[in-house]
Amino acid sequence: MLRLISTLRKEWFLLLRDKAGLALLFIMPVVLICVMAIIQDAPFKDYQELKFDILSVDNDHGRLARYIKEGLESTGQFNIVDSLDGKVVDQELAMQLVQEGEYSIAIIIPRGATGNIVSNANTIVNNLMDRMGMSATLPVKAHPDSLNVEIYFDPAAKKSFKSAIHQSLDNFLTQVETNMLLERIQLQLKRKNGGVEEAFPEIHLKAVGLEEKSLGEHAELDVISNSVQHNVPAWSIFAMFFIVIPIAGNMIREREDGSLLRMKLIPGSYLAILAGKMLFFVGICVLQFYLMILVGKFLLPEFGLPSLVMGKDHLAAFLTAVCIGLAATAYGILVGTVFKTPNQALNFGAISIVILSAIGGIWIPLEIMPQNVQAFGRLSPMSWGLQAINDIYLRNEHWTEVLPQLGLLLGFGLLLLGIAAWVEKRRMN
């Protein structure tokens, strides 16, 4: 017990002696999280969260252009621009603006497009009526033109963006053509009934709809992943693992100035010294973690970013923070035990943390990495911690669901401590 208390006191005084280092231990992660969350905010936004200006050139002046415009604007994602500086946009100007990158999309509705759709609908209705033994004489074009709604994209536009716009426009065209066909059928049936409108109620083609439901117990807890939800936990874990720098530095200095030898002269086990270091630095890590969480909760919204959502099980988050802190502290103790000089320990510690964070999904989500990199990434203790935090914060899971990740972090920490104790014992012998 005396060794444990002495170790705690020693670590506390060592940390207080280096006030600049102590400040950097907390201030640098705050700066890092703010910078990363702000610069990654745009890439993390889905296209559904953005609003795009679309240049529209209406050469048809029929219902098709009006339906497409109303449909696109009703989604809330698109703002239709058909005039600039009081002048109607023509096809040449639209193509030029898209080519120059001032607009991402231009849609050209060809002349006669609505007439083509109506003629096609009339042809279908006439055929239907003929098969039913009823005469129908809706006008159709003798030689229908082959028309296409033209889309021009900014050459720098991403393929996924083009696919999303293609899909939206295709849906609107199908909807417009279906509506016109139903109108022609309804009109023809009314004529056959002597024009009595009440006999034919509105035709609703969509019998089954599509509705997005929440997986959580409460809809308000259905969290959308964004730059804050990724960056705050991810870089908090990264900062916690950087505790390896002060731990390794302190341990090597202790060996060099003889304070470790004096600690060993106190009767008791060397494990008590390790336990004292563990208690102290795990406490620092947990304090760091919750400081970063407060940054995500209260500071980042001041920069116009979303506030961090923390899930329901705060005990699970605390246990996860403790386990991550234990793994990070054990890693620092191993590095400080194995290496003999500060240069060796600090260089290896810093670079290895950067590598573990890169493959562990701290910089970019693990899911969008190549499959072979994902396999290595899942071996990183940072990925275990990040997965546990994401399960708690994004999926609202309880501590029982994150036990596998907590077990891995605990096992990793105990294994490293065992190796560090074995190395130190061999050195003493």
Question: pLDDT tens-digit profile of 238-261?
Answer: 989 988 888 888 888 888 877 777
Q: Residue 312: in which H helix or E strand, if any?
A: none
Per-residue pLDDT at 45 exceeds 70: no
Q: Computed from CA positions of residues 162, 163, 168, 173, in that sequence, does the dihedral angle turn out positive or negative?
A: positive
Question: Hey, what are 133's tokens?
Answer: 């033994």
The whole-number average pLDDT for the span 360-371 is: 78
Provide the residue type at 181 as one letter. L
* Max CA pair span of the chain: 110
Region of 305 on the Ramachandran plot (φ > 0 left; ψ -120 to 50 alpha; else beta): beta
Least confident of 39-48, 165-174, 292-301: 39-48
Question: Position of tokens 């294994």?
Answer: 415
Question: Hey, what are 220's tokens?
Answer: 């308000």
Residue 355 and residue 238: Cα distance in Å, rounded? 11
Which residue, 237, 235, 226, 231, is CA-closest to 388?
A: 237
**Which residues fall within 8 angstroms of residue 59, CB to CB, at 6 or more apart?**
91, 108, 109, 110, 111
Q: Which residue has the higher pLDDT, 216 or 247?
A: 247
pLDDT value for 33:
77
Q: Which residue has the higher pLDDT, 32 or 200?
A: 32
Per-residue pLDDT at 41 exceeds 80: no
Q: Are residues 38 and 299 in contact, defined by beta-carbon separation less than 8 angstroms?
A: no
Give 213's pLDDT tier (boundaries 50, 70, 90). low
Provide the residue type at 295 as one letter. V
The whole-number average pLDDT for the span 203-232 is: 64
Give SS3 for 203: coil
Q: Are residues 346 and 251 in contact, defined by beta-carbon separation less than 8 angstroms?
A: no
pLDDT value for 388:
92
Contacts 24+ apart (CB under 8 A), 159-166: 160/47, 161/47, 161/104, 164/47, 165/105
Q: Which residue has the higher pLDDT, 50 or 336?
A: 336
Question: According to the 3-state scheme, what is the secondary structure of 5-54?
Answer: HHHHHHHHHHHHHCHHHHHHHHHHHHHHHHHHHHHCHHHHCCHHHCCEEE
Per-residue pLDDT at 422 exceeds 90: no
pLDDT value for 219:
47
What is the DSSP secondary structure assignment for residue 100, as one 8-state letter?
T
Residue 316 and residue 398: Cα distance in Å, rounded? 6
Per-residue pLDDT at 36 exceeds 80: no
The whole-number average pLDDT for the span 311-317 is: 87
pLDDT value for 211:
66
Per-residue pLDDT at 221 exceeds 50: no
pTM of the predicted model as reported, rounded to 2 decimal places: 0.66
**Which residues fall within 8 angstroms of residue 427, CB to CB, at 6 or more apart?**
none
Give 267: exposed, middle or buried? Use CB within 10 Å, 0-12, 13-18, 19+. Answer: exposed
Q: What is the CATH number of domain 51-183?
A: 3.40.190
pLDDT value for 114:
83
Give 416's pLDDT tier (boundaries 50, 70, 90). very high
pLDDT value for 215:
59
Least confident of 8-17, 101-110, 118-127, 342-351: 8-17
What is the chain's mean pLDDT, rounded?
80
The tens digit of pLDDT for each residue in 96-109 reads 888 888 888 888 88
pLDDT value for 206:
60
**Cα radius of gyration (the chain):** 33
Residue 196 and residue 332: Cα distance in Å, rounded? 85
The Cα angle at residue 379 between residues 375 and 383, in degrees rounded to 5 = 100
Every domain range in the chain assigned CATH 3.40.190: 51-183
Buried b (16+ CB within 10 A) or exposed e, 135-154: ebebeeeeeeeebebeebbb
Per-residue pLDDT at 332 exceeds 80: yes
Provide the residue type at 34 as one letter. C
Give 411's pLDDT tier (boundaries 50, 70, 90). very high
Per-residue pLDDT at 28 exceeds 60: yes
Residue 70 and residue 56: Cα distance in Å, rounded? 12
Residue 10 and residue 63: Cα distance in Å, rounded? 80
Give SS3 for 56: strand
Question: What helix, strand, coil percent values describe the chain, rounded to 5?
Answer: 70, 5, 25
**Which residues fall within 8 angstroms of residue 70, CB to CB, at 6 or more apart?**
none
β-partners of residue 88 are: 83
